[in-house]
Amino acid sequence: MTVAPAYDSVSAILSPPSNADTLESFVPQDEDAKAKEDYINSHPLALSLRADPDLIESRPSEKIPASWRKHNLLSGSLAGPGKIAVPPFSWTEREGKSYVQITHVGTDLCGHMGIVHGGFLAAMLDEGLARCCFPALPYNVGMTAKLEINYKAPAMADQYLVLRGTTVKVEGRKAWVEGHIETLPAEEGQEPTILATASALYISPKQAPVCTPESLFRPLPRGLDQSCFANWDAPAVDG
C-alpha cells in the first residue's frame, strides 16, 4: 500500500508534466473556483499574453508532484478556498527574459482585516521573480541571495493580482531580476495600481547538477549536506 504513492512521486519527478499538460490538469472543485478560473481565462490580459508567440504559458504549481505539493508554501499550504483558490497562470518569455503571472488572492491571506499580508506578497514576489530568471540560469535553478521590496499601496483581499518580472542582468550563475505586483484592471483601458516593487538576486548553486530530477535518486556526493543547496557558495551580493 505504501509503494504506489512513492512510485507516483518518482514517476512525476522523472517525467514531469509538460507546460501544456499543466494547463489541463487542474479541475475546479466548486463553483467559486470555476468562476475565478473562467474570469482569468477570458480576461483581455490573458488573451493578449496567449497570443504572443514568444511567451510560454504554464501553471508552475501543477508541475510539483501531488504528494509533495502539500509541503509547498504557495502551492500547498496557502492553496485552496479563501486563499489561492486556483493555481496561478504564468507566461514566461523564452530564455528567461520576462515573466507575467495572474493570481487570485482570497480573504484568508490577510494581516490587517481585508488587506493581504505583506509577507504573502513577499513570498509571491520571491517565487515569481525566481521563475522569471530560471531559464537563464545553469540547470534552471537558483536560490534567493537578496530580495528588496518596497510596498506602494495596500493589496486588498479577494481580488486578482498581476506579477511582472524582468531579468535585467545575468553573469554566470547569478541573475538580477526586477518586478512588481499590480492590480488586474476590471475594465479595458483602466490603469492598474502598483502595490509593491522588488529587485532580487538569484544564484545557481555550484551543486546544481546534483539537484536535477535524475540525481535525486543517486547518493549525494561526499561532504554534501542532505539539502542539495548546502554550501552553495553565495558570493557577496552588494553592488
Between residues 218 and 118, the one the model is more confident about? 118
Question: What does each C-alpha distance from 83 to 70, 103, 105, 130, 138 come to in angstroms?
Answer: 14, 10, 6, 22, 33
Question: What does each C-alpha distance from 238 to 12, 23, 156, 200 come to in angstroms?
Answer: 38, 39, 33, 11
The strands making up 159-171's β-sheet, listed across from edge to edge, are 55-58, 89-93, 98-105, 159-171, 174-183, 194-203, 143-151
Domain 10-207 classified CATH 3.10.129.10?
Answer: yes
Residue 239 has pLDDT above 50, yes or no: no
Helices (H), 60-144: 66-69, 118-133
| pLDDT digit string, tens, across residues 106-121 | 999 999 999 999 999 9
pLDDT interval class at 1 (50, 70, 90): very low
132-159 mean pLDDT:
95
Query: How far apart (Å, rounded) are the C-alpha atoms in residues 65 and 13?
Result: 7
Query: What is the pLDDT at residue 226?
Result: 44
Least confident of 86-90, 123-127, 217-221: 217-221
Q: What is the DSSP letter of 138?
A: G
Query: How far apart (Å, rounded) are the C-alpha atoms in residues 125 and 178?
Result: 10
Query: What is the pLDDT at residue 130?
Result: 96
Query: What is the pLDDT at residue 212?
Result: 54
Query: What is the pLDDT at residue 139?
Result: 84
Query: What is the pLDDT at residue 67?
Result: 82
4-14 mean pLDDT:
49
Query: How far apart (Å, rounded) are the C-alpha atoms in residues 133 and 119?
Result: 22
User: Mean of the per-residue pLDDT values for the chain?
Assistant: 85
